[in-house]
């Protein structure tokens, strides 16, 4: 049996059935071209009879791409098949995908039929489709809940009728991996003509088993997998293309191969997410923004020493430039030192310890620390060498009270404290400092506040311009607390005067 696994992408058909994810023809062509670059073997372009838009999309995609087989979905209905054949007339390699339900739920309740009639309809549909194309895929809808013996009879009959691919969908996502794998193995061992067709998986994720079921299908004999980018699809979605491809690539002992250019995975995922207006969850395997992000100090230290300590996939293999070391309150010195070096800073142990101490204080008030925050921390460390250092301060302000501030500073080793009132908390703090340092003649020429990063809990930067005795100086400060940033900036400017 071949070790080649064919990738059948149904993002533009099953994936597009997600509410709010519908694409126009131009968008579908853009996705199809990217799927061609990705290296998928089959693109299920749509369900032509369902709407004029779907019909036109299949036509235009057939014209736009050359390498993948273009597939069109139908029911086991003559008109469906005729319309699909018409839509595929420009395809270099066209496939009609027809089928019917085979579980008791579908036979008796949905179709109001019986098992023998279902086989007759299935065979008739495949034979009719073969009049238009040489490549016909048959799907046994709800095969996951179909009886294996009956399913084998259906599959044997449609292969005899000319089906080149037989699709065994776990339509409701009901199966467990062992159960689904055994179903594929049963067909391999009990359908006499199974060697004349490729077995395909099509698993839904209602119980979170889609990828596991698909892999179980491969191990037991399936050689085509029906998947979508980002796991999009009906209800809880379909098997995610990126998960299956990277699972097979990571487990080289399984000895399966696909034609996918894995470095195109992230690019394709982002394109699909953008055009379908469906964000990818942060912790989504392979393509989520946290898939290669490390925030724990222990993990960060391990990854910095050897990537394989905590990563089984090289980010570059899927199109990610590098792992992300996310600085949070759980990060250690190693991660902070690494980030500082990336930004061009090399601090000795004492300064690194001091920056790390301030880093932890900042990290406790923010979800994560940006490069801009790191620049601020390093800048503050340099300011700590000034003759004036902020030791502590507190303010009282509100609608019904006069703003006041108590400021404690370290002036060359001497601790000084003073209290003052003002027109607001910033003015009160500045007044306390001026009186304490006896620099009442220092004139505040400019006071500018600006955001370094977005969000109400992010860092704000303060720029101050002071003049005294004809001399003008500037001070800078930054902090998540804008009052603290203001006092730092004021002291930074006064340090240059004193």
| Binding residue positions for Mn(2+) | 14, 202, 204, 238
Question: What are the φ and ψ backbone dihedral angles of 321, each rounded to 5 degrees?
Answer: -60, -50
Measured between its terminal Cα atoms, the distance across the chain in Å is 84
For residues 81 and 129, the answer to whether their CB atoms sit within 8 Å is yes
Helix spans in 225-342 (H): 241-250, 265-275, 297-305, 333-342
Indicate the DSSP class of residue 108.
I
Query: Among 221, 204, 111, 210, which residue's Cα sits nearest to residue 155?
Result: 221
CB 404, CB 427: distance < 8 Å: no
Q: Do 70 and 62 form a contact (C-beta atoms < 8 A)?
A: yes
268 burial class (0-12, 13-18, 19+ CB within 10 angstroms)?
buried
The conformation of residue 440, written as its DSSP 8-state character, comes to T
What is the C-alpha separation between 245 and 461, in angstroms, rounded?
Answer: 46
Beta-sheet strand order (sheet of 471-479): 443-451, 460-468, 471-479
Nearest to 118 by CA among 96, 146, 137, 144: 146
Sequence-distant (≥ 6) Cβ neighbours of residue 340 within 8 angstroms: 346, 347, 352, 355, 374, 378
Q: CA angle at residue 261 from 256 to 263, to 5 degrees?
A: 120
> Contact at 8 Å (CB) between 200 and 165?
yes
Q: What is the dihedral of CA 60, 65, 67, 70, to 10 degrees?
A: -20
Rounded CA separation 76/255 (Å): 36
Q: How far is CA 202 from CA 173, 212, 234, 237, in A?
A: 10, 12, 12, 11
Q: Rounded to whole angstroms, how far apart are CA atoms 300 and 494?
A: 40
Burial 272-288 (b: 16+ CB within 10 A, else e): bbebbebebeeebebbb
Binding-site positions: 14, 202, 204, 238
CA-CA distance, 71 to 84, in Å (whole number)? 9
């Amino acid at each position: 049996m071949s070790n080649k696994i064919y990738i059948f992408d149904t993002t533009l058909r099953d994936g597009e059935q997600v509410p709010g994810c519908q694409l126009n023809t131009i968008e579908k062509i853009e996705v199809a071209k990217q799927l061609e670059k990705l290296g998928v073997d089959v693109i299920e372009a749509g369900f032509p009879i369902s709407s004029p838009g779907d019909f036109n999309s299949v036509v235009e995609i057939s014209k736009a791409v050359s390498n993948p087989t273009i597939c069109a979905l139908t029911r086991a209905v003559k008109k469906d098949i005729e319309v699909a054949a018409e839509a595929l007339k420009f395809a270099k390699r066209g496939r009609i995908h027809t089928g019917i339900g085979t579980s008791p739920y579908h036979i008796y309740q949905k179709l109001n039929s019986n098992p023998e009639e279902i086989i007759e309809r299935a065979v008739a549909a495949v034979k009719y489709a073969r009049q238009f194309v040489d490549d016909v895929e048959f799907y046994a809808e709800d095969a996951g809940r179909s009886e294996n013996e009956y399913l084998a009879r259906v599959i044997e009959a449609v292969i005899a009728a000319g089906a080149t691919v037989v699709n065994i969908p776990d339509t409701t996502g009901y199966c467990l991996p062992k159960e689904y794998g055994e179903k594929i193995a049963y067909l391999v061992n009990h359908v006499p003509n199974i060697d004349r067709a490729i077995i395909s998986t099509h698993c839904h994720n209602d119980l979170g088993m889609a990828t596991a079921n698909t892999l179980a299908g491969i191990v037991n004999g399936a050689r085509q997998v029906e998947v979508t980018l980002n796991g999009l699809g009906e209800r809880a979605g379909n098997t995610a293309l990126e998960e299956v491809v990277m699972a097979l690539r990571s487990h080289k002992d399984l000895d399966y191969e696909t034609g996918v250019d894995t470095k195109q995975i992230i690019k394709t995922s982002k394109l699909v997410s953008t055009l379908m207006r469906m964000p990818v969850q942060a912790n989504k395997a392979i393509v989520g923004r946290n898939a290669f992000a490390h925030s724990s100090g222990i993990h960060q230290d391990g990854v910095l020493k050897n990537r394989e300590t905590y990563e089984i996939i090289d980010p570059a293999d899927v199109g990610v430039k590098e792992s992300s070391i996310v600085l949070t309150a759980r990060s250690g010195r190693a991660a902070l030192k690494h980030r500082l070096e990336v930004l061009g800073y090399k601090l000795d142990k004492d300064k690194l310890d001091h920056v790390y101490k301030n880093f932890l204080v900042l990290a406790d008030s923010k979800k994560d620390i940006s490069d801009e925050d790191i620049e601020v921390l390093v800048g503050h460390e340099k300011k700590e060498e000034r003759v004036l250092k902020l030791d502590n301060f507190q303010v009282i302000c509100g609608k019904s009270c006069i703003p006041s501030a108590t400021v404690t500073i370290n002036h060359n080793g001497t601790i000084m404290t003073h209290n003052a009132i003002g027109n607001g908390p910033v003015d009160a703090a500045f007044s306390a400092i001026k009186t304490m340092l006896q620099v009442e003649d220092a004139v505040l020429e400019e006071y500018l506040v600006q955001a370094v990063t977005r969000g109400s809990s992010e860092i704000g930067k303060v720029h101050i311009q002071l003049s005294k005795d004809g001399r003008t100086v500037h001070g800078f400060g930054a902090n998540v607390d804008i009052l603290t940033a203001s006092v730092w900036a004021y002291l930074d400017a006064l340090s240059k005067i004193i």
